[in-house]
A and B are shown apart, each in its own frame.
Chain A
Amino acid sequence: MREEILDSNASYYLGEALDTWLSVGHRDVAVPEAAGSSARVFLLKHANDSLPWRINPAFKVMRHDKQAYAMPLFREEFKILGNIKGIDAITPMLQGGFLKPTPGTVWPDELAPSSKILELQGGGQNIKGTLAVFEPDEVNDILEQFDERLQDGWLPFLILERRWEDNLYMLCDAGYTRGAFIQNLSMKQVLDIAMQITDILEKAHAQGAVFLDHKLLHYYWNEPRQKVIILDWNIGRWMGRDLAPEMIRDDLLQFSARALHHLFTGQQAPGAAVVGGNRPEDIANSPSQFKASYSFDVQKRLNNDEMRFLEDALQGKFASATEMKTQLAILAAKR
């Protein structure tokens, strides 16, 4: 562990807000970002440009006014990112730790940085404080000090690789694809994406983690590599060896109702937790089965096998990600 200063004049500082749902990116449209209910996310910079990473990373810090709610979520995310190994499709934690803002710190409003003025108004460059920085292999120390530090006014943070890719919400949501102003995904690509996600889930389940928060805003699509990257594990749970088959089934059901249905049809299954900010109980209290909903266009897009697969998935018929991946591979082979 080492201590650093957060100060835009001399050391680390926070730049533009990255969690304001809409930012203007490569596309000539507003790009949706996941706005967190438990955290704020800013770009992390250094006054001397001396950060050890090639691209400035994202700095995810607990909301100071939502501590009771956010505390378990951050603890779980530390556990998962600290323990999970060997999955390169997960956005890794580069460093973690605690931030103690100086007294009287005013946190910026959630303004989309769609102009230079708004970028400054919504940015975190005025936030000053002390950082207790831990390396990824010191996660146990973070967890040990967690309660004590929070009582002492520190806020936990994670430094994550910044995702620059488009998220799958923008590429799949019917509101966007109907507008036809970005490149739509083909069904072959959709099946490949679903397979990649099930592969991530398979590995995560094998190590004892469930993701649970399967909104498409949490999946990013790296076009050059044709690769899915997953982000934000704070609703997830780290169970280690105690991961029960029911939890795996629930995770797959959430994936099916929210991500898979959205990928296939452009919208989530009716009754699934909303795309906006979710709390763990929203997911825990969601139905145990869902029904597929197809618009006219979607009926033309999907074939019978794909529809049957989606319906089976929404009924919770898959007990493992491996099983689901195998089915998806068969469907992809037929395309």
Chain B
Amino acid sequence: MIKPLIEQAQKVLASAKPGDDELLNAQSELASFLEALSTGRMSIKVDIDDLEESERLMRELKREINRRQAGVPAAEATPSTPVQRAQTEPIMSAQTTPAPLEDTSPSPVIPGTHEPIASPSPIFSQILQNDSLGGLDSDPLKRFFQSAHDPEAERLMDQAEEAFYKGNYQVAIPLYEKVIQMEPSWSRAQEHHAEAEEYLRSGNIPSVALPPEAGKDYGKAQSAARVFRYQIALNYLDDAFDHLEEAGIKRWREGEDLRADLENQMQAYDVYKEGLNLLSLGDLQTAFSKIQTAASAVAIPEYIDKANEIRADISAINDISDIVSMSGKIPPAMLADAKGKLERIRMKYGEMDQIRRLRTRLDLMIPATIQNLLDNTKRLKQEAADAPTANLAKQKVAGARENLDLLRQLDAYDAESLSLEDEISRLETEIASNLDAIGRAKETFESGNKFFAIDSWKISRNARKRFPQDPDVLELKRNYLPSYAVAILAILVFSALLITLLTFGVRRISAGITARNLAKTPTATNTSTITLTPTVTLTPEPTLTPTEYVSPTPTLTQTPTPISYVTPLRQIWVRSDCYADYLGVGRVTPGTKLTLMPMAERKFDNFNRECVLVSVSSGDYALIGFVLIEDLAPVSE
């Protein structure tokens, strides 16, 4: 049964521009159904999801209706809440004139007729039940005691009490006075009369004693103030005062205090906003003064934080001014810090005259500092490279790094700085690896043989050379003393052994030699005696005889002369050298007469065949070269 109503509401809400009547109709039908359900007038089972959806849709419809209603000009519909009134006032002239809405409160409506029915809010019934003051005659005991009074006095007392609990003290006081005239001993009438007069006179009305409408608005005002919605709270408070005025109450201390507080808060907010505006214009000092005033007035953390923030920025600007006004050499760290702070402030507040001036001054000072920093960094790098201890090297490297950071902060990080950083990084790596080596050497020494720490010694060799005065290296060296002693001892023993062996060997060799020499020498000497024997060779003096052969020799020497001419046995090449690997200079055919030329030495080719130098001449043609002997035949004259 509820589903069609849900669908109808969904359809109305989903349509682009639902009419006011459609909205109202959907809302009232849904509201009636839910009301009937909650009061038990209808006993059907409704799915929880549907119930939930209908609750949600009710809110959507109500929200939409209220928004439309809030846009209606004041003459046609009065906004129901101060919020609506405050926010719609400026835009009313821009509104079209939609049909005025009638009652849009969630009062139950009789289905079909759309006629609102009266039903007290559940909270009222709760208050009535819990009312400890017993003012609404629900207590039978009270009625019993009241019945002891004069009936007219009792009637007036009822009226007075009703007015009193409504906060309508102006009405209540004369009624109490009449009651007291009739029954002077009625203490409750006296007390309430006194209280009512006191409230009106002093304005110290406790919130529970406020007229209900004023109490509601005061509560809302407090709630709104609690979440810093001051204008809304003030609007509610004005409504509360209106209700009080209607009830004849001129003074209300608590409300006045709240109003003063709210106004104070709003003024502080205005001053704070003014400060923020000045801040955006770059007037830091005046902005600070405004925001500080707002913070002192209401102590809102946001204001206090902002004031502190601006104070810190102003202080930073003053510090920077002091730095740029310093005479002599300004420490680069201070300069870099000043530059960083100034940049941050510039980013925060934008360009301001004061900041621009300071920046110009800083820009003038920075180049000299940069050169100085670069020189200092190079010196530190060199000192790190030469440092005799690892700690000193690390300190120097750290100093160099700091300088590089400062250069970076001063926006002076160029190729030279990059190269320096690279070198410093390499130095760092070297220091780290040496330190690591020292550490490992120490570990190895601790865990290994302390009298023969060769591994540890090898590991630390480079580190010991690099950092000869490092305490760890010195300790290592001390640790190696037993190892050195053992090594020296070993060398001594080894040398002694070697010498012994050599001596022994030499002796053995010389003994052997001696032994061999003794055996042969005598024979050798005897042999030489034998060599004397050839003296006998002198005997053939007849050797002179062959001298006679000399004479025929010339005859023999003429023998080769005929073979000074040769002829090839076949067609052959005459080459530049011996034989086939060399350039052919000419070709000779069998029968050609070749002249053998003299040669300083005999020549052979790769196959060990002998060549001869020959020449051929015929008319204006001549060639000279080598040929193989095997290809030749002598030519007889």
Residues of A with Cβ closer than 8 Å to B?
21-30, 32, 35, 49, 55, 111-119, 164-165, 169, 173-184, 217, 222-225, 274-276, 282, 296-297, 300
Contact B123 A30 (CB under 8 A): no
In the assembled complex, which residues on chain A have CB atoms less than 8 Å from the CB atom of B207? 178
**Bound complex: CA of A153 vs CA of B80, how far in Å?**
43
Specify which of B55, B83, B127, B130 is in contact with A224 (CB 8 Å cutoff): B55
**Bound complex: CA of A275 vs CA of B132, how far in Å?**
31
B305, closest chain A residue (CB): A279
Residues of B with Cβ closer than 8 Å to A?
14, 48, 51-52, 55-56, 58-60, 62-63, 66-68, 70-71, 80-81, 83-84, 87-88, 91, 94-95, 105-106, 121-124, 126-127, 130, 132, 207-208, 212, 215-224, 226-229, 232, 301
- The A-B contact count (CB < 8 A) is 151
- Given A26-B62, A30-B81, A175-B226, 5 other A-B contacts at CB below 8 A? A24-B83, A115-B70, A116-B68, A118-B88, A179-B215
**Bound complex: CA of A39 vs CA of B605, how far in Å?**
105
Enumerate 6 A-B pairs (CB-CB under 8 Å) in ascending A order: A24-B84, A115-B70, A174-B222, A176-B223, A179-B215, A217-B227
Contact A24 B67 (CB under 8 A): yes
**Bound complex: CA of A21 vs CA of B87, how far in Å?**
14
**Bound complex: CA of A177 vs CA of B127, how far in Å?**
11
B98, closest chain A residue (CB): A116
Contact A116 B71 (CB under 8 A): yes
Contact B48 A224 (CB under 8 A): yes
Given A30-B232, A111-B87, A176-B219: A116 and B67 interface contact (C-beta under 8 Å): yes
Contact A30 B220 (CB under 8 A): yes
Expressed in whole angstroms, the minimum distance between the Cβ of A61 and any Cβ of chain B is 21
Contact B71 A115 (CB under 8 A): yes
Specify which of A23, A184, A275, A300 is in contact with B227 (CB 8 Å cutoff): A275
Expressed in whole angstroms, the minimum distance between the Cβ of A118 and any Cβ of chain B is 6
Expressed in whole angstroms, the minimum distance between the Cβ of A60 and any Cβ of chain B is 19
**Bound complex: CA of A181 vs CA of B80, how far in Å?**
13
In the assembled complex, which residues on chain B have CB atoms less than 8 Å from the CB atom of A118? 67, 70, 87-88, 91
B210, closest chain A residue (CB): A178
A121, closest chain B residue (CB): B91
Contact A175 B221 (CB under 8 A): yes
Expressed in whole angstroms, the minimum distance between the Cβ of A151 and any Cβ of chain B is 15
In the assembled complex, which residues on chain B have CB atoms less than 8 Å from the CB atom of A169? 223
Specify which of A115, A176, A178, A296 is in contact with B67 (CB 8 Å cutoff): A115
Specify which of A22, A28, A115 is in contact with B91 (CB 8 Å cutoff): A115
Expressed in whole angstroms, the minimum distance between the Cβ of B217 and any Cβ of chain A is 7
Given A30-B83, A178-B207: A24 and B66 interface contact (C-beta under 8 Å): yes
In the assembled complex, which residues on chain B have CB atoms less than 8 Å from the CB atom of A25? 59, 62-63
In the assembled complex, which residues on chain A have CB atoms less than 8 Å from the CB atom of B55? 26, 164-165, 223-224
In the assembled complex, which residues on chain B have CB atoms less than 8 Å from the CB atom of A182? 121, 123
Contact A26 B227 (CB under 8 A): no
Contact B88 A114 (CB under 8 A): yes
Given A24-B81, A26-B106: A175 and B223 interface contact (C-beta under 8 Å): yes
**Bound complex: CA of A329 vs CA of B124, how far in Å?**
29
**Bound complex: CA of A132 vs CA of B219, how far in Å?**
44
**Bound complex: CA of A183 vs CA of B228, how far in Å?**
25
Specify which of A32, A35, A164, A175 is in contact with B56 (CB 8 Å cutoff): A164
Given A119-B67, A179-B219: A55 and B56 interface contact (C-beta under 8 Å): yes
**Bound complex: CA of A112 vs CA of B85, how far in Å?**
12
Contact A22 B232 (CB under 8 A): yes
**Bound complex: CA of A57 vs CA of B444, how far in Å?**
68
Contact A222 B52 (CB under 8 A): yes
**Bound complex: CA of A164 vs CA of B132, how far in Å?**
36
A162, closest chain B residue (CB): B56
In the assembled complex, which residues on chain A have CB atoms less than 8 Å from the CB atom of B58? 26
In the assembled complex, which residues on chain A have CB atoms less than 8 Å from the CB atom of B215? 178-180
Expressed in whole angstroms, the minimum distance between the Cβ of B362 and any Cβ of chain A is 26
Q: Taking each of B60, B67, B88, which has the highest tally of chain A beta carbons within 10 Å of its own beta carbon?
A: B67
Specify which of A116, A183, A223 is in contact with B123 (CB 8 Å cutoff): A183
Contact A115 B63 (CB under 8 A): no
Contact B83 A181 (CB under 8 A): no
Contact A175 B91 (CB under 8 A): no
Specify which of B87, B122, B222, B301 is in contact with A112 (CB 8 Å cutoff): B87
Given A32-B223, A117-B95, A275-B227: A179 and B217 interface contact (C-beta under 8 Å): yes
Contact B121 A179 (CB under 8 A): no
In the assembled complex, which residues on chain B have CB atoms less than 8 Å from the CB atom of A174? 219, 222
**Bound complex: CA of A275 vs CA of B222, how far in Å?**
12
In the assembled complex, which residues on chain A have CB atoms less than 8 Å from the CB atom of B94? 117
Expressed in whole angstroms, the minimum distance between the Cβ of A232 and any Cβ of chain B is 15
Contact B105 A28 (CB under 8 A): yes
Expressed in whole angstroms, the minimum distance between the Cβ of A188 and any Cβ of chain B is 13
In the assembled complex, which residues on chain A have CB atoms less than 8 Å from the CB atom of B84? 24, 114-115
Nearest 7 CB-CB pairs, A to B?
Answer: A175-B223, A179-B216, A115-B70, A26-B59, A175-B219, A179-B219, A175-B222
Given A24-B66, A117-B95: A274 and B226 interface contact (C-beta under 8 Å): yes
Contact B63 A276 (CB under 8 A): no
In the assembled complex, which residues on chain B have CB atoms less than 8 Å from the CB atom of A296? 208
In the assembled complex, which residues on chain B have CB atoms less than 8 Å from the CB atom of A224? 48, 51-52, 55
**Bound complex: CA of A176 vs CA of B224, how far in Å?**
10
Specify which of B80, B106, B124, B218 is in contact with A180 (CB 8 Å cutoff): B124
B207, closest chain A residue (CB): A178
In the assembled complex, which residues on chain A have CB atoms less than 8 Å from the CB atom of B208? 178, 296-297
**Bound complex: CA of A217 vs CA of B60, how far in Å?**
20
Expressed in whole angstroms, the minimum distance between the Cβ of B515 and any Cβ of chain A is 94
**Bound complex: CA of A29 vs CA of B123, how far in Å?**
15
Contact B56 A49 (CB under 8 A): no
In the assembled complex, which residues on chain A have CB atoms less than 8 Å from the CB atom of B51? 224
Expressed in whole angstroms, the minimum distance between the Cβ of A219 and any Cβ of chain B is 15
Contact A164 B59 (CB under 8 A): yes
Contact A114 B67 (CB under 8 A): yes
Expressed in whole angstroms, the minimum distance between the Cβ of A50 and any Cβ of chain B is 13
Contact A115 B217 (CB under 8 A): no
A122, closest chain B residue (CB): B87
Contact A21 B229 (CB under 8 A): yes
Given A116-B67, A181-B216, A223-B55: A29 and B81 interface contact (C-beta under 8 Å): yes
Contact B132 A300 (CB under 8 A): yes
Contact B87 A115 (CB under 8 A): yes
**Bound complex: CA of A183 vs CA of B119, how far in Å?**
13
Contact B227 A21 (CB under 8 A): yes
**Bound complex: CA of A181 vs CA of B220, how far in Å?**
11
**Bound complex: CA of A134 vs CA of B86, how far in Å?**
41
Contact A176 B220 (CB under 8 A): yes
In the assembled complex, which residues on chain B have CB atoms less than 8 Å from the CB atom of A30? 81, 83, 220, 224, 232
**Bound complex: CA of A216 vs CA of B227, how far in Å?**
12
A24, closest chain B residue (CB): B66
Contact A29 B121 (CB under 8 A): no
Contact A24 B68 (CB under 8 A): no
Specify which of A178, A274, A276, A282 is in contact with B219 (CB 8 Å cutoff): A178
Expressed in whole angstroms, the minimum distance between the Cβ of A35 and any Cβ of chain B is 7
Expressed in whole angstroms, the minimum distance between the Cβ of A161 and any Cβ of chain B is 12
B95, closest chain A residue (CB): A117
Expressed in whole angstroms, the minimum distance between the Cβ of B61 and any Cβ of chain A is 9
B235, closest chain A residue (CB): A30
In the assembled complex, which residues on chain A have CB atoms less than 8 Å from the CB atom of B81? 24, 28-30, 114
Specify which of B70, B91, B228 is in contact with A24 (CB 8 Å cutoff): B70
Specify which of B60, B95, B212, B229 is in contact with A22 (CB 8 Å cutoff): B229
In the assembled complex, which residues on chain B have CB atoms less than 8 Å from the CB atom of A113? 67
In the assembled complex, which residues on chain A have CB atoms less than 8 Å from the CB atom of B52? 222, 224-225
Given A32-B223, A225-B48: A23 and B122 interface contact (C-beta under 8 Å): no
In the assembled complex, which residues on chain A have CB atoms less than 8 Å from the CB atom of B63? 23-26
In the assembled complex, which residues on chain B have CB atoms less than 8 Å from the CB atom of A300? 130, 132
**Bound complex: CA of A111 vs CA of B14, how far in Å?**
24
